[in-house]
């Protein structure tokens, strides 16, 4: 996440799609660094606290500042309750989160927030977490498995229905054939057998600095070494044995692709089951909505 982040593209596409399909959306921005919005948030954490102010006043870096903002939010949960309490089942509440992975993997803030949002008798929201991994990660298997391990960690930590998405599919269109891409939908160890990035790492080019390979602690030496390969095999084996992660593909520029992801989200939160039955006119048609 950059200090001057923008509204996450997936959320923007989802809201556009909901609007085109006359569905009610309520957009909550919980990224305290996001400044540019394609759709204005209905609720913005920056009205409570902004990362820029925290970094200036508390002399914190972007990561520490982000954690501070979320700790502050946890102490001021009325900010969320007041806005969300009156929304009916018709609304899809889209909560845009910051992209910093630390927030999802090893601190308990988000599990606490999730428990608060889902608590029966209070907000009682049905949540679906959507974890996005950029499709370009498949080009380097080590990165793909590291990203997948983070997805699994988030699934275990958050304990809500969860979908994993390979986003920005357009960026790999020329590089990975559709047939080959299918292998990345369900991660398994065999993907490590033909890793082009690993082959490249093992063939240092003349432009690579010599020290990178002569220094056993250098990045190049470590990432082309046997222990790095063993580590990746162990990580991939762990992911395969848990069998929790599989991916959906997303191209935000393609309306059908966004619609397909939305239908998975709807299933996870049982959106359609929760709707009030609509009044049916005598001729069997639903009454036209008033403009």
Ligand X SMILES: Nc1nc2c(ncn2[C@@H]2O[C@H](COP(=O)(O)OP(=O)(O)OP(=O)(O)O)[C@@H](O)[C@H]2O)c(=O)[nH]1
Please, which residues bridge with residue 129 across strands? Answer: 162
CB 200 within 8 A of CB 141: no
How many chain residues bind Mg ion (CB under 5 A)? 1
Token pair 């309750």 is at which residue?
81
**Position among 78, 159, 170, 210 found at the interface with ligand X (CB under 6 A):** 170
- The token pair at 57 is 């006043």
Separation of alpha carbons 245 and 228, rounded Å: 22
Name which of Mg ion, ligand X, none residue 187 binds, using a CB cut-off of 5 to 8 Å depending on partner kind.
Answer: none
Nearer to ligand X, 147 or 220 (CB): 147
Nearer to Mg ion, 8 or 257 (CB): 8
**Position among 77, 107, 171, 238 found at the interface with ligand X (CB under 6 A):** 171
**Position among 2, 3, 4, 8 found at the interface with Mg ion (CB under 5 A):** 8
Which stretch in 3-11, 174-182, 216-224, 276-284 sits in contact with Mg ion by CB under 5 A? 3-11
Q: How many residues does the chain have?
A: 291
For residue 171, the minimal CB distance to ligand X (Å) is: 5
Residue 157 vs residues 75, 109, 111, 150, 222: alpha-carbon distances, Å: 21, 10, 6, 10, 30
Nearer to Mg ion, 99 or 111 (CB): 99
Nearer to Mg ion, 8 or 224 (CB): 8
What are the φ and ψ backbone dihedral angles of 92, each rounded to 5 degrees?
-100, 115
Separation of alpha carbons 129 and 116, rounded Å: 15
The closest of 1, 30, 25, 5 to 13, measured between CA atoms, is 25
Which letter does DSSP use for residue 170 in this model?
Answer: G
- The token pair at 246 is 């599989």
For residue 39, the minimal CB distance to Mg ion (Å) is: 13
- Per CB under 6 A, 252 contacts ligand X: yes
Separation of alpha carbons 276 and 95, rounded Å: 23
| CA 269, 273, 278, 281 torsion-angle sign | positive
Which stretch in 2-10, 46-54, 192-200, 204-212 sits in contact with Mg ion by CB under 5 A? 2-10
Site string for ligand X, 78-107 (x = CB under 6 A): --------------------xx--------
Site string for ligand X, 7-46 (x = CB under 6 A): -xx---------------------x---------------
Nearer to ligand X, 173 or 230 (CB): 173
What are the φ and ψ backbone dihedral angles of 150, each rounded to 5 degrees?
-65, -40
Which stretch in 4-12, 13-21, 78-86, 202-210 sits in contact with Mg ion by CB under 5 A? 4-12
Name which of ligand X, Mg ion, none residue 9 binds, using a CB cut-off of 5 to 8 Å depending on partner kind.
Answer: ligand X
Separation of alpha carbons 11 and 17, rounded Å: 10
Nearer to ligand X, 113 or 236 (CB): 113
Nearer to ligand X, 164 or 167 (CB): 167
Per-residue H/E/C for 268-280? HHCCHHHCCCCCC
Separation of alpha carbons 167 and 71, rounded Å: 29
Residues in touch with Mg ion (CB under 5 A): 8
Residues in touch with ligand X (CB under 6 A): 1, 5-6, 8-9, 31, 98-99, 167-168, 170-171, 252
């Amino acid at each position: 996440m950059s200090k001057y982040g923008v509204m996450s593209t997936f959320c923007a596409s989802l809201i556009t799609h909901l609007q085109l399909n006359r569905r009610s959306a309520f957009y909550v921005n919980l990224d305290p660094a996001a400044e540019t919005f394609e759709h204005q948030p209905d609720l913005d954490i920056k009205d409570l606290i902004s990362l820029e102010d925290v970094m200036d006043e508390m002399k914190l870096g972007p990561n520490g500042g982000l954690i501070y903002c979320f700790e502050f939010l946890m102490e001021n949960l009325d900010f969320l309750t007041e806005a969300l309490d009156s929304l009916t089942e018709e609304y899809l509440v889209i909560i845009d989160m910051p992209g910093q992975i630390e927030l999802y993997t090893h601190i308990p803030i988000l599990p606490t927030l999730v428990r608060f949002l889902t608590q029966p008798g209070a907000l009682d929201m049905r949540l679906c977490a959507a974890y996005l991994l950029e499709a370009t990660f498949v080009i380097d298997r080590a990165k793909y498995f590291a990203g997948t391990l983070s997805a699994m960690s988030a699934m275990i930590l958050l304990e809500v229905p969860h979908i994993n998405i390979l986003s920005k599919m357009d960026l790999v269109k020329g590089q990975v054939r559709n047939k080959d891409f299918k292998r990345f939908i369900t991660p398994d160890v065999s993907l490590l057998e033909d890793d082009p990035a690993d082959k490249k790492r093992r063939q240092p080019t003349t432009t690579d600095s010599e020290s990178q390979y002569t220094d056993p602690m250098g990045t190049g030496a470590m990432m082309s070494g046997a222990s790095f390969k063993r580590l990746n095999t162990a990580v991939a084996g762990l992911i395969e044995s848990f069998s929790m992660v599989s991916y959906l593909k997303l191209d935000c520029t393609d309306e059908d692709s966004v619609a397909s992801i939305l239908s998975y989200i709807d299933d996870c939160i049982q959106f359609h089951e929760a709707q009030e039955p609509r009044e049916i006119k005598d001729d069997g048609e639903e009454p036209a909505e008033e403009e």
